[in-house]
Amino acid sequence: MRQPAPRWHDFARTVSGAPAGAADHSITPTELSPALRAARVLWRALKVVLEACALFALLLLLFVRVPQVTGMSMEPQLRANEHVLISTIAYDFRVGWQDRALLDIRLHPIARGDVIAFEHAVGGSPRVYVKRVIGLPGDVVRISAGSVTIDGVAQRDALGVARDRTEMPAQRVPADAFFVLGDNRGESDDSRAFGAVPRGAVIGRANLVVWPLNRARKIR
């Protein structure tokens, strides 16, 4: 008859001189040397840090983006070289991009006054823009001496908006698109120049300034 393979614990008892069949005596953490205990604690802490970093990277990849602001078009709300946290699931859960999206689930409507991030091609290269939503689909937007009217009703500017003397004849915002302006109107390249932004180009909502830390704040 084939004999069962010897177990490690039986072998360890034999080496230590313990009788076969004696109770197991595993090494407990309290019996470890201080150096080995410290190494175990360090390894566990390192694993936690690595798992947290992996989770953060996954969140950045799937749900947020942190572009750097360039230019002065959103001053004083946003300043050049600040990094802005963009929630990419504030409005849509999208897999793919624009007309190539494999999945596009509408979660929340884009509201007037929201500060959104979107892609706009400049010289053939896509760039991330951050602007404020002024006109919604179907709105008739007109600008006279810098004053915005929507469907003939004068609009109240958001806090801190710096008007210029822009003139723009009335135009209707297309379906599933949004008319956007920078808060610093005289320094902004926006819908007055390139028209309404299609919803498919919207990356998400700009929620927070996260860098530099001494200027971290919520975006209004």
Q: Please report, for the chain, the start and end positions of each structural domain, with discontinuous segments joined by +.
A: 29-62, 65-218
Would you state the pLDDT for residue 131? 96
Mean pLDDT of the chain: 83
- Report, as ranges of residue numbers, the positions in the chain whose pLDDT lies below 70: 1-31, 56-63, 95-101
For the entire predicted model, the pTM comes to 0.70
Question: 30-83 pLDDT, tens per residue?
Answer: 567 888 888 888 888 888 888 887 776 665 555 677 878 888 999 998 999 999
Per CATH, the number for 65-218 is 2.10.109.10
Quickly list DSSP for the chain. -PPPPPPHHHHHHHHHTPPTTPPP-PPPGGGS-HHHHHHHHHHHHHHHHHHHHHHHHHHHHHTEE-PBP-SSTTTTTS-TT-EEEEETTSSEEEES-GGG-SEEEE-S---TT-EEEEEEEETTEEEEEEEEEEE-TT-EEEEETTEEEETTEEPPPPTT-B-----EEEEEPPTTEEEEE-SBGGG--SHHHH-PEEGGGEEEEEEEEEESGGG-EE--
